[in-house]
């Protein structure tokens, strides 16, 4: 079984004469770009906005906290957009994606929002992005719309129903269903509490280690 370094990566089974294409599903924040909400917390000094899915496993609980804090402090969408405009991809992220695109079909599967993520996508080569949508009224975030229940697992399962083999990497509790559904799942720079709760997933602390795991 071998691989060709082009946009479509083929794994050839010489016994069956079959061709399989691998998809690599990646989380976004904490894996390729900084945590956007933590950037807002740094700008505003609001400690509650430092919380992520690494701290609060249930996404609905986390978002309700964020919406409450935004309303209490009258934080505008414009302010958040100004924070995002100053963010850059994590060091090495663009190079890692260049490496990955030569070997996999790359899909970003995130619990962020299109209004947040699209400016950052342009900085990492505009890969496929599946995420959620914000509801914004008069420059204030009033709610959000989830793409579908259990969206990360469902995204991996959808690729699998199309006969793709899926590898996945993420850094937090909300990535576990994606890693579990994939044929191979890995943590990337996940905190100790997440790794301890889910020790079955190998972990990487840098992109070089992640490349090694993906090629293993």
**Which tens digits make up the pLDDT trace of 43-66?**
999 999 999 988 998 999 999 999
Cα–Cα distance between 91 and 138 in angstroms, integer?
35
Three-state SS across 40-73?
HHHHHCCHHHHCCCCCCCCHHHHHHHHHHHHHHC
Name the pLDDT band for 216 (thresholds 50, 70, 90): confident
pLDDT at 17 over 80: no
Q: Is 138 a catalytic residue?
A: no
CB count within 10 Å of CB 115 equals: 19
Q: pTM of the predicted model, to two decimals?
A: 0.88
Confidence of residue 185 (pLDDT cuts 50, 70, 90): very high
pLDDT of 1 reads 34
Q: CA-CA distance, 64 to 67, in Å (whole number)?
A: 5
Predicted local distance difference test score (pLDDT) of residue 27 = 98
Q: How far, CA to CA in Å, does 206 sit from each of 91, 148, 172, 186?
A: 10, 31, 15, 12
Question: How far apart are alpha carbons 13 and 34 in whole angstroms?
Answer: 39
* pLDDT of 214 strictly over 70: yes
CA dist 198 and 38 (Å) reads 24
What's the confidence (pLDDT) of residue 37?
96
The answer on pLDDT for 125 being more than 60 is yes
* Residue 29 falls in the annotated catalytic set: yes
Catalytic residue among 22, 29, 35, 175: 29
Per-residue pLDDT at 5: 34
Would the CA dihedral through 56, 177, 187, 118 be positive or negative? negative
- Residue of 27, 35, 111, 175 marked active site: 27
Q: What are phi and psi of 8, to 5 degrees?
A: -105, 125
Q: Which fold has domain 10-215?
A: Rossmann fold (3.40.50)
Q: How far is CA 37 from CA 27, 44, 155, 165, in A?
A: 15, 10, 24, 32
Region 132-151: mean pLDDT is 95
């Amino acid at each position: 079984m071998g691989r060709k370094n082009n946009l479509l990566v083929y794994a050839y089974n010489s016994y069956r004469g079959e061709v399989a294409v691998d998809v690599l599903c990646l989380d976004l924040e904490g894996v390729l770009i900084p945590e956007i909400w933590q950037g807002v917390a740094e700008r505003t000094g609001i400690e509650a906005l430092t919380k992520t899915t690494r701290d609060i496993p249930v996404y609905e609980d986390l978002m309700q906290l964020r919406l409450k804090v935004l309303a209490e402090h009258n934080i505008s969408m414009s302010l958040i957009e100004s924070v995002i405009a100053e963010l850059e991809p994590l060091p090495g992220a663009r190079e890692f994606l260049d490496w990955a695109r030569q070997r996999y079909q790359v899909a970003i599967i995130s619990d962020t929002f299109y209004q947040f993520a699209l400016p950052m996508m342009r900085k990492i080569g505009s890969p496929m992005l599946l995420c959620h949508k914000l509801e914004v009224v008069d420059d204030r975030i009033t709610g959000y719309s989830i793409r579908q229940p259990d969206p990360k697992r469902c995204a991996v399962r959808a690729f699998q129903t199309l006969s793709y083999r899926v590898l996945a990497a993420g850094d937090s509790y909300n990535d576990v269903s994606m890693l579990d559904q994939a044929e191979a799942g890995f943590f990337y720079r996940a905190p100790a509490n997440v790794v301890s709760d889910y020790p079955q997933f190998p972990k990487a602390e840098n992109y070089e280690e992640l490349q090694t795991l993906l090629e293993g």
